Structure 1
Amino acid sequence: MKRLPAGAVPVLAVILGLPTVLLPGSVTAQVTYTIAFGLLVVLAWLGVRGRTGRDRTAHGLMAAALTAWLGGDLLYAALIWHFGELGDVSAADVLWVLGYPLLAAGMVLLVRLRAPGRLREAALDVLAMATVVAALFWQFMVAPEVTGNTMSLSVLFAAFYPFGDVLLFAAGALVVLSPGERTGATRYLIAALTLTFAGDVTISAVSPVFPDFDTARLDSVLLLANSLFTAALLNRDADQPAGSRRADAQRLHPARVVFLGVSLLTLPVINDVRLGDQAIQRLTMLSAMVMLTVIVLIRFTLVVREQEQVRAALAHRATHDQLTGLVNRQELHVRLSAALRQRAGDGPVVHFLDLNGFKPVNDRYGHAAGDFVLVEVARRLRATVRDTDTVARLGGDEFVVVSAAVDDVAAVTERLRNAVAAPLHHDGHDLRIGVSVGHASAAELEHPTSDTLLAAADATMYREKGATYAPDATIGMSRTY
């Protein structure tokens, strides 16, 4: 069966919702509304079909929310038909209220699936904004119902509905603020949440101000919102509402700063207006301000820590070799110069190592094998020397070890040679690598510098290489360090 295009669903809802706008409360409006809503629920479950795992659970929760709302409408109509006029609360309210957490849970799970491990900042921002919205709803919608009234089911449900809207607001804000491209399904979800939130708030606000206005007309707005939820479930890119985003789009959006700024300003303004002097209202506002302050402090702390981590990473990259993690040439000169200024005994002592047989390994087994050799040699050198010694990679297959002082230079040289020359095993191959080691100490030079000390160690290394291996054309050449 050919799938109904997602974009056609809202159009169908608008057409079938016209009687609700033009003839609110009529039999025609009630029948067309019920047919339209029932069709949306069927299409929503068709959108769930074919999905698997937690993705199916997320979409199923959203479809279940629409089903609960439809069930509430049908149950309310049945109760009216059987009992006549009902009070402020009926069994249908249970289903209507149930739809809010079901929908919010489905949205949150969906976003978590699309942006795993990347929602911490967005969740904190959403929590801050939801705290303000909840405080506003309490002040203007819930408190007037609760204050001076005995606790009853009607009072409880009067509180449940506004806070259900807070859940929807939080879910919508999480979709907006979560990282990822805004797909067609995401836009349907955002539009649906916006209409649902606006419709519920308008219905709650219009009744006290305009008692003669028939709020049944606004059911068409909620029908359109439900059609947008259904369109999102039918849309195949609902599988990726928060996919990967380009790096330049990861920057902090100005709207995010504005929302947080408004959140910080709103609660103090409400508190200064002092719309009510009831102790419960003052306590509620104080609790909201404390919670908002804690959230903002956590958010600020996380931002500062991330900046510190970024700076530390950049500083490490500037001073260390990216492949092996050893100190690089620039940092080696800095540390060697510092060691020369703080000379202890005959130190510092420099060992210069150049691998033998590295190029044939690289040529025969590929660059991956060559990288493995360099990383393993670096690991072995670090494990062989003291924690206070410096191990550096100059580039290519050349390494340097700097020690503040050495009692037995020959013994250190032999340990370094044995560590590097030990067999290497990579991808089923035995790799044979030798090493030539030269050394020099500051005590041997008249006016030692980092350059002259490295050059002296390099020269002794090349003398060893020339005595052990075939003459190298570069032996005796002047090199700059």
Structure 2
Amino acid sequence: MNRLGNRGWLAYLLAGAAITGTTLFSQRWTVAGATALQVSAVLAVLYGLLRHRPARPVFWWLTAAGLGFYAAAQAWWRIGFGGTRPDIPTESYDDLLFFLAFGCSAAALLVLAGRYVPPVQRRADGLDGLIVFVGMAGVTWTVAAEPFLVGHDGNASAVLLFGTYEILDLIRISLAGMVVLSAGRRSTAERLMLGGTLTQIVGDVVFTTAQAGRNVYGWDPALLTGLRITELQDLLWVFGSVLIGAAALHPAMARPAVARSTDGRMSRLRLVVFVLLAVACPLLSGGFRPGSTTTFVPVLLSAVLSLLLVVRMGVLGGLVQRRAEALDAALRQQDELRAELEHRATHDSLTGLANRAALTTAIEAATARPPGARGWLVLLDLDGFKQVNDNLGHPVGDELLVALGDDFRAVAPDGLVARLGGDEFAVVLGPATAETVEERAAALLRVASLARRVAGHPVQVSASLGLLDLDQAGTVARALHDVDMALYAAKGAGRACYRFAAAPAAN
């Protein structure tokens, strides 16, 4: 039963299409059948609201109201004039009903467009809708509006009425264009609803254009054998209502439209539509009607359309510029983050000196060079630092380590100074003689033993050093082992001194 209910929209659509087709063969059946179908579409929307209970029902309530007014207006038109009325509805109650129908339809499309368009891009999409409005106004002016005005010259009420219909239709076309041109995939219910709305709009355009053409050119309303303009427009109006009714019966109508962000970008479909409007509007500005001299309005609309397109290109250019700037900022931020991560991976967080990983890399690079170009490795351990930490606290000890690190870096500006953890440091020097290295070692001992005042406390420590000629080291592990042995030798000799690592024994 549930599955059958979910297929009810398809049964309604097929039945509605069949009944719509049969209305072409009988004038009497057209009046009854077409009106019944339009009323059934209203009932279908109301049933869909009751059955599926959409989260945002405002759109469907407005749609139901629009279909109801539409059905009432066209029933009045068909019954009162036999479906062969010679002109647009004028000075009759059905005008008010049509206006209410168009107003509800436009309001429903406005609600739908608001759901499709995220707030961040409503300015760009609103501008696109205005472009469609002005472009279609330029086209319809020459094709329909001017011919109608010529045929009703001096009839102010008819002109006002026609203008109202045209403006309402243009508003609906613009809003429908905003929805259709929006990005993303649509549900079956959304496609049916948009198809029905566009079908009804096409019916309005066909009717208005045909009537205007008949007034000026004397067109025979017959388009095909046995099919007249009045019948074609009725076919489109009625079948549009059937499509909307089927959309309301579809289970997908309960799912609200989801805003699909395009960040103001212009899709290919939008570009094609804008190009067609930009070409059609100026081409028709010379007057589509033979002998037309009223070119001011289409020329003005063409100018406004060109201005809007330039503004739209400016918006798009601004978007491109902002995206380029955002991308550039993101890349800079990424580079800065990468540099920061690399720095953290190779540097001590307290002193900012190189860490053990960086020291290992430096020793690997040195031992890879040929002997004579490898340089020296100095391992330094503070004497008396534990007492500073125990007596004065770790904050004082940390501040002392930072000060010592700066001093060690000043003594060996051309070398790599690293903190290995705790109170242990290392220095990688370039190639030098033993005498030069001894001078550097003496300088390191001197700055390590300086009397200092740290956080208001007098502090003094010393250091023991192990020195290794990297020409004697074959591997990183061997180098660290040998220099560590030299450091222990310095500590065993009484501290505050340095010792060279012993040369490896000859085989």
Over 3 Å counting, the alpha-carbon distance change for 1:13 and 1:291 in structure 2 is same
Report the residue type matching 1:12 in the other structure.
Answer: A
Q: How does 1:245-256 map to 2 (within 5 A)?
A: 253-256=267-270
2:339 aligned with 1:329: yes
- Residue of structure 1 equivalent to 2:277: 263
* Residue from 183, 186, 195 that aligns with 1:182: 186
Does structure 2 conserve the Cα–Cα contact (< 8 Å) formed by 1:69 and 1:99? yes
Report the residue type matching 1:94 in the other structure.
Answer: L
Q: Deviations over 1:289-340 (max 9, x none)?
A: 3432332233222222222222223222323259xxx65418999xxxxxxx
Report the residue type matching 2:133 in the other structure.
Answer: A
Partner of 2:349, secondary structure, is strand
Report the residue type matching 1:315 in the other structure.
Answer: D
- Residue of structure 1 equivalent to 2:142: 139
Over 3 Å counting, the alpha-carbon distance change for 1:305 and 1:263 in structure 2 is same
Report the residue type matching 1:354 in the other structure.
Answer: S
- Residue of structure 1 equivalent to 2:17: 14
Q: What is the alpha-carbon distance in structure 1 between the residues aligned to residue 86 and residue 124 of structure 2?
A: 48
Q: Deviations over 1:175-211 (max 9, x none)?
A: 2211221221222123213322222222233341214
Q: Deviations over 1:408-442 (max 9, x none)?
A: xxxxxxxxxxxxx99xxxxxxxxxxx998576599
- Residue of structure 1 equivalent to 2:69: 68
Partner of 1:47, secondary structure, is helix
TM-score by structure 2 length? Answer: 0.60
2:313 aligned with 1:300: yes
Q: What is the alpha-carbon distance in structure 1 between the residues aligned to residue 407 and residue 329 of structure 2?
A: 28
Q: What is the alpha-carbon distance in structure 2 between the residues aligned to residue 243 and residue 54 of structure 1?
A: 12
- Residue of structure 2 equivalent to 1:112: 114
- Residue of structure 1 equivalent to 2:92: 90
Task: Give the drift of 1:257.
Answer: 1.8
2:195 aligned with 1:191: yes
Report the residue type matching 1:46 in the other structure.
Answer: Y
Over 3 Å counting, the alpha-carbon distance change for 1:35 and 1:62 in structure 2 is same
Does structure 1 conserve the Cα–Cα contact (< 8 Å) formed by 2:113 and 2:179? yes
Task: Give the drift of 1:105.
Answer: 1.7
Over 3 Å counting, the alpha-carbon distance change for 1:442 and 1:285 in structure 2 is farther
Does structure 1 conserve the Cα–Cα contact (< 8 Å) formed by 2:56 and 2:256? no
2:246 aligned with 1:236: no
* Residue from 223, 226, 232 that aligns with 2:238: 223
Over 3 Å counting, the alpha-carbon distance change for 1:77 and 1:266 in structure 2 is closer
- Residue of structure 2 equivalent to 1:59: 60
Report the residue type matching 2:56 in the other structure.
Answer: D
Does structure 2 conserve the Cα–Cα contact (< 8 Å) formed by 1:354 and 1:461? no
Q: How does 1:75-474 map to 2 (within 5 A)?
A: 75-76=76-77, 88-117=90-119, 118-147=121-150, 149-207=153-211, 208=214, 209-211=219-221, 214-218=228-232, 219-240=234-255, 242-243=257-258, 253-272=267-286, 276-278=292-294, 281-282=295-296, 284-321=297-334, 328-329=338-339, 354=349, 440=406, 444=410, 456=417, 459=418
Over 3 Å counting, the alpha-carbon distance change for 1:114 and 1:274 in structure 2 is closer
Q: What is the alpha-carbon distance in structure 2 between the residues aligned to residue 355 and residue 92 of structure 1?
A: 84
- Residue of structure 2 equivalent to 1:382: none
Q: What is the alpha-carbon distance in structure 2 between the residues aligned to residue 7 and residue 295 of structure 1?
A: 42
Over 3 Å counting, the alpha-carbon distance change for 1:259 and 1:313 in structure 2 is same
Structural RMSD (CA): 4.5
- Residue of structure 2 equivalent to 1:387: none
Q: What is the alpha-carbon distance in structure 1 between the residues aligned to residue 258 and residue 268 of structure 2?
A: 21
Report the residue type matching 2:127 in the other structure.
Answer: L
Task: Give the drift of 1:64.
Answer: 0.9
Report the residue type matching 2:101 in the other structure.
Answer: G
Partner of 2:154, secondary structure, is coil
Over 3 Å counting, the alpha-carbon distance change for 1:71 and 1:274 in structure 2 is closer
Q: What is the alpha-carbon distance in structure 1 between the residues aligned to residue 408 and residue 304 of structure 2?
A: 62
Over 3 Å counting, the alpha-carbon distance change for 1:244 and 1:137 in structure 2 is closer
Q: What is the alpha-carbon distance in structure 1 between the residues aligned to residue 318 and residue 171 of structure 2?
A: 30
Partner of 1:320, secondary structure, is helix
Over 3 Å counting, the alpha-carbon distance change for 1:355 and 1:301 in structure 2 is farther
Over 3 Å counting, the alpha-carbon distance change for 1:241 and 1:252 in structure 2 is farther
Q: What is the alpha-carbon distance in structure 1 between the residues aligned to residue 328 and residue 53 of structure 2?
A: 45
Q: What is the alpha-carbon distance in structure 2 between the residues aligned to residue 315 and residue 93 of structure 1?
A: 58
Over 3 Å counting, the alpha-carbon distance change for 1:51 and 1:135 in structure 2 is farther
- Residue of structure 1 equivalent to 2:374: none
Over 3 Å counting, the alpha-carbon distance change for 1:442 and 1:152 in structure 2 is farther
Over 3 Å counting, the alpha-carbon distance change for 1:274 and 1:216 in structure 2 is closer
Deviates more, 1:187-196 or 1:224-233: 187-196
Does structure 2 conserve the Cα–Cα contact (< 8 Å) formed by 1:16 and 1:32? yes
Does structure 2 conserve the Cα–Cα contact (< 8 Å) formed by 1:192 and 1:229? yes
Q: Deviations over 1:18-69 (max 9, x none)?
A: 3421113x2x321222222211111112223367798211111111110111
Task: Give the drift of 1:255.
Answer: 2.8
Over 3 Å counting, the alpha-carbon distance change for 1:332 and 1:11 in structure 2 is same
Matched length: 364
Q: What is the alpha-carbon distance in structure 1 between the residues aligned to residue 142 and residue 159 of structure 2?
A: 15
Over 3 Å counting, the alpha-carbon distance change for 1:140 and 1:321 in structure 2 is closer
Q: What is the alpha-carbon distance in structure 1 between the residues aligned to residue 306 and residue 407 of structure 2?
A: 59
Over 3 Å counting, the alpha-carbon distance change for 1:85 and 1:298 in structure 2 is closer
Q: What is the alpha-carbon distance in structure 2 between the residues aligned to residue 217 and residue 85 of structure 1?
A: 13
TM-score by structure 1 length? Answer: 0.63
Q: What is the alpha-carbon distance in structure 2 between the residues aligned to residue 320 and residue 98 of structure 1?
A: 56
5+ long unaligned stretches in structure 1: 334-351, 357-390, 395-420, 423-433, 468-473
Report the residue type matching 2:12 in the other structure.
Answer: V
Does structure 1 conserve the Cα–Cα contact (< 8 Å) formed by 2:42 and 2:68? yes
Q: What is the alpha-carbon distance in structure 2 between the residues aligned to residue 308 and residue 441 of structure 1?
A: 48
Report the residue type matching 2:176 in the other structure.
Answer: G
